[in-house]
Amino acid sequence: MRRAFRRTRLYLALATASGILMGNSLPLHAVEQTQPGSRHFDIAPGPLGQALTRFSDQSGLRLIVASQLLAGHRSPGLQGEYDIQQGLRQLLAGSGLVGTVSGDTLLIEKAAQGDAMSLDIMRVEDNALGTITEQTKSYTPGTIATATRLVLTPRETPQTVTVVTRQHMDDFNLTNINKVMDHTPGITRHGTDNYRSYYYARGYEIRNFQYDGIPILSDGVIFSGETASDMIQYDRVEVIKGASGLTTGAGSPGATINLVRKKPTHEFSGHATAEYGRWDNYRTEWDVGGPLVESGSIRGRFATAFQDQQSYMDHFKEQRRALYGILEVDLSPKTMLTFGGNYDKTTPTGSSWGGTPFFDSHNNEVNISRSFNPGASWSRAEQFSHAFFSQLDHEFDNGWSGRVYYTFQRNASDGNLGSIKYTPDGDTGSSELLSGQYRYKTRSQALEAYARGPFELFGRTHELAVGVSGYHNHLKGSGHNVIRVPVNNIWEWNGHAERPDWGGILYRAEDRIDQRAYYASGRFSLTDDLAVILGGRVTNYRRGGDSNMRETGELVPFAGITYDLNDNFSLYASYTKIFRPQSARDESYAVLDPDEGDSYEGGLKGEWFNGRLNASLAYFEIRQDNRAELLGWNSERNYSMYEGRKAKTKGIELEISGELMPGWNIQAGFTHQVIRDDETNEKLTTQEPENQFKLYTTYRLPGRLSKITIGGGGTYQGTTWRDGTDALGNEHQFKNEAYWLVNLMGRYQITDNLSATLNINNLFDKYYYSNYGERWTGVATKTYGEPRNMMLTTRWDF
């Protein structure tokens, strides 16, 4: 202690003499002494010097640091409850600096080689993709990097990126990706049956998935197992709105979903849950992490979840299993190796295969209960996904950092399916069960390397990211004979039907997609208020199978600009190109040319309370040269026929997320969009709502009631419709009227470590359709959404 105090006095003298003393200017006797335990910090991401000054103010410590040590460094910020050392580790993440507290003085200096603090630094800055949201108690991210590879605040990012944080998932029991998408502003989910879902944004199906920012599943390849993802393994889910060619390459212009995995903790911690809900819904979670050696240079985490549930649909039940493990090893103070893996498996019985027939043979609408399950009791569609990933991170002395990332993922589905798909007789109720046996598996590999850091130009500091990327997707599938099984009376249907013998394999399917790319993006700070982001990705794309497509040297440019109007508001705009090879075929069975075009976005962004609250108002416009629109079904060759059309999508999005006041979190968004044929002005894709609104909020009561948190929210979806035909072949418009769904939650903190949370979904038991008017075997169908249900969760944190 004597040595530390002498060193502190020496730094004080040097700092005073050279004019490099920073921090609060209160005299020593006016500063409160540091108290043990945690306290609340509210520090936005930004320049490290500013972050440390705020830390000094909020902790009551006098800050001493040489200004040259801070040059070019940024901090991920600090929001939530932390003790002094925990807070310092996060603020100094990736800087190579350490903090020493002596009495009421905080001294910042360069870490010595092998210093334990420098090893701790790496974990938080694993945030090559932004701030870890776990333990922040926040509904908004501190920083994000998914859109540009540059670590920026939401306000600095010239594109809409919606993030569902760990706190939001825990508050509303969002245990799988379907539930997360239901809460994500601007996203529509279509439940085709009781085991498959499809997601849409800005009028386009989302088929691009990233894991830890690395594209792994490519647009166009049938995916199986993605919607089975359990959230026990993820810190947050990011949705990049619009085209994301800079970081994804070829893909849909609607959105890209990025699932960011949890990281090991530096202190031993974890949680366990016991949950019970309606329809005999049981679930348990175990999540534990911490250092594996005394120095903390090796850290691990293991999480598992098991769920056994029945359903509002007759004779349907499902089991879900998830396993996740990750290990971090500090090879040196500046180099870290990470590797891990996950396993998700969903085992259902009584799977439906599409919806229920809409009309009977008399052309009357089939009115059935929501509990009606058209699937046979033996029908099942088992899905699983497992992955292995590894990455190597290194911090260079000049402020740059680099990463090499490899992942292998296998998704598969194994289905023995049988479901009522044909128009029932209006008098007797007789119909037919369509049955088939199908197996698909997709093997995906991705390898990416990139580096990012600051550079000086014209007296100002700018940022640059460069990288190379490659991934390979290989799909294999097979199908057996399709057999019809008679059903005597659908009104007396209980799922019992003879399981047929499908015989040998009728057909095999195979599809390969390879992408190789290199990219760069730079953020140029032209003034203190004006920044420009320029970048591009050059992609070589090849697709095998009978499509046999090849695109070489396809350039996808990106340009963005942000201008700070004042401390709270910024104007922004961005542009990128659309590049999407297609597998759809025209009337002559020829593959359509790639869908290309332009994506524009611009608007206003706001930031308050040092980044604890963020908002955006965006106008977007998407122009397509060759959008695939359905023409009809070719019964001779058994395929859907499409034509390419010029289309234009216009819309606005308004979003807000974060903390309105201490203890009051919110995430909300409104979206309006219209897609029209660019030549005829005809509306396209009317089965997606033109208007959608989502709002979810929680509030921790003050004072003596602070152990209670209440919350709720809802979703509004505007009217949608499809044009089709009825049972007699007449033209018919299938219209799904607008509806509201309302949810509630409440939590009681029984002790510091034990809590109980009740979630109620569809509070008013609204009847609605998750899919309406979709055609199966030429017959229009409908699928009901979930009735009112609830879940009680007890959670023990340790």
Per residue in 664-702, pLDDT tens? Answer: 999 999 999 999 988 888 888 788 899 999 999 999 999
Query: For the residues 436-457, what does the mean pLDDT come to?
Result: 93
Strand-strand pairing, 105-110 and 62-64: parallel
d(CA 740, CA 256) in angstroms, rounded, equals 26
User: How many CA atoms are closer than 13 Å to the CA of 567, on its beta-carbon side?
Assistant: 4
Q: Supply the pLDDT for residue 1.
A: 36
Q: Supply the pLDDT for residue 218.
A: 58
- Which residues are CB-neighbours of 493 under 8 A, at least 6 positions away? 372, 374, 420, 487
Check whether 160 has a pLDDT greater than 90: yes
> What is the side-by-side order of every strand in the sheet holding 214-217?
161-164, 234-241, 255-261, 209-211, 214-217
Q: Supply the pLDDT for residue 12.
A: 38
Least confidently predicted of 149-163, 477-491, 562-576, 632-646: 632-646
Task: Work out the pLDDT band at 13, boundaries 50, 70, 90.
Answer: very low
Buried b / exposed e across 503-513, counting CB within 10 Å, b at 16+?
Answer: eeeeeeeebbb
For residues 748 and 629, the model is more confident at: 748
Check whether 510 has a pLDDT greater than 90: no
Mean pLDDT of the chain: 87
pLDDT tens, residue by residue, 186-198: 999 998 888 888 8
Three-state DSSP state, 494: coil
Buried b / exposed e across 750-789, counting CB within 10 Å, b at 16+?
Answer: eeeeebebebbbbeeeeebbbbbbbbbeebbbbbbbbbbb
Residue 427 burial (C-beta neighbours within 10 Å; 0-12, 13-18, 19+): exposed
Closest CA to 575 of 163, 254, 244, 162: 244
- Which residues are CB-neighbours of 185 under 8 A, at least 6 positions away? 162, 653, 655, 667, 668, 669, 670, 671, 692, 694
CB 129 within 8 A of CB 137: no
Task: Work out the pLDDT band at 21, boundaries 50, 70, 90.
Answer: very low
Least confidently predicted of 132-136, 153-157, 239-243, 387-391: 132-136
d(CA 763, CA 685) in angstroms, rounded, equals 30
Strand-strand pairing, 639-661 and 664-677: antiparallel
Read off the tokens for 51: 């972050």
CB 753 within 8 A of CB 798: yes
**Token match 């034990």: residue?**
754
CB 391 within 8 A of CB 397: no
Check whether 720 has a pLDDT greater than 50: yes
Task: Work out the pLDDT band at 177, boundaries 50, 70, 90.
Answer: very high
Q: Supply the pLDDT for residue 466.
A: 97
pLDDT tens, residue by residue, 256-295: 999 999 999 888 999 999 999 999 999 999 999 999 999 9
Task: Work out the pLDDT band at 226, boundaries 50, 70, 90.
Answer: low
Of the CATH numbers 3.90.1150.10, 3.55.50.30, 3.30.479.30, 3.30.460.10, which one belongs to the domain with range 37-108? 3.55.50.30
Closest CA to 76 of 160, 159, 10, 136: 136
Eight-class DSSP state of 319: E
Strand-strand pairing, 97-102 and 74-75: unpaired
Least confidently predicted of 194-203, 297-306, 490-499: 194-203
Closest CA to 490 of 436, 422, 435, 418: 422
Check whether 10 has a pLDDT greater than 90: no
d(CA 581, CA 595) in angstroms, rounded, equals 6
Least confidently predicted of 478-482, 620-624, 635-639: 635-639
Read off the tokens for 433: 């069960």
pLDDT tens, residue by residue, 771-792: 888 877 778 999 999 999 999 9
pLDDT tens, residue by residue, 417-432: 999 999 999 999 999 9
- Which residues, listed in sequence order, are joined to residue 342 by a DSSP beta bridge? 324, 387
For the chain, helix (H) and strand (E) counts, in that order, are 7, 43
Q: Supply the pLDDT for residue 346.
A: 92
Task: Give Dmax (Cα) for the chain.
Answer: 98
Q: Supply the pLDDT for residue 568.
A: 95
Closest CA to 134 of 287, 358, 245: 287
pLDDT above 90: percentage of residues in the chain = 59
Three-state DSSP state, 179: helix
CA distances (Å), 780 to each of 92, 359, 427, 504, in order? 59, 8, 19, 30
User: How many CA atoms are closer than 13 Å to the CA of 347, on its beta-carbon side?
Assistant: 6
Q: Supply the pLDDT for residue 22.
A: 36
Q: Supply the pLDDT for residue 118.
A: 36
Check whether 32 has a pLDDT greater than 70: no
Query: For the residues 476-480, what does the mean pLDDT come to?
Result: 91
Fold of 267-795: Maltoporin; Chain A (2.40.170)
Q: Supply the pLDDT for residue 25.
A: 33
d(CA 413, CA 439) in angstroms, rounded, equals 6
Check whether 627 has a pLDDT greater than 90: no
Domain ranges of the chain: 37-108, 159-259, 267-795
Rg of the chain over all Cα atoms, to the nearest angstrom: 28
Chain centroid offset of residue 94 CA = 25
Check whether 119 has a pLDDT greater than 50: no
CB 761 within 8 A of CB 786: yes
d(CA 588, CA 428) in angstroms, rounded, equals 41
- Which residues are CB-neighbours of 465 under 8 A, at least 6 positions away? 148, 149, 150, 450, 451, 452, 520, 521, 522, 535
Look up the pTM and report it: 0.84
Q: Supply the pLDDT for residue 20.
A: 34
Check whether 636 has a pLDDT greater than 90: no
**Token match 């647009």: residue?**
219
**Token match 């088939």: residue?**
436
d(CA 462, CA 518) in angstroms, rounded, equals 21
Query: For the residues 369-390, what does the mean pLDDT come to?
Result: 94
Q: Supply the pLDDT for residue 546.
A: 64
CB 264 within 8 A of CB 284: no
Query: For the residues 298-306, what does the mean pLDDT come to?
Result: 97
Check whether 121 has a pLDDT greater than 70: no
Q: Supply the pLDDT for residue 103.
A: 67
Q: Supply the pLDDT for residue 422.
A: 93
Eight-class DSSP state of 324: E
Task: Work out the pLDDT band at 581, boundaries 50, 70, 90.
Answer: confident
CB 463 within 8 A of CB 453: yes
User: How many CA atoms are closer than 13 Å to the CA of 123, on its beta-carbon side?
Assistant: 28
pLDDT above 70: percentage of residues in the chain = 90
The amino acid present at 150, given as its one-letter code, is L
CA distances (Å), 485 to each of 353, 455, 492, 774, in order? 14, 69, 16, 22
- Which residues, listed in sequence order, are joined to residue 359 by a DSSP beta bridge? 365
**Token match 């908004």: residue?**
140
The amino acid present at 547, given as its one-letter code, is S
Residue 549 backbone dihedrals phi, psi, to 5 degrees: -105, 150
Check whether 547 has a pLDDT greater than 80: no
Q: Supply the pLDDT for residue 227.
A: 62
Read off the tokens for 185: 């502003």
Residue 396 backbone dihedrals phi, psi, to 5 degrees: -90, 160
- The CATH number of the domain covering residues in 159-259: 2.170.130.10
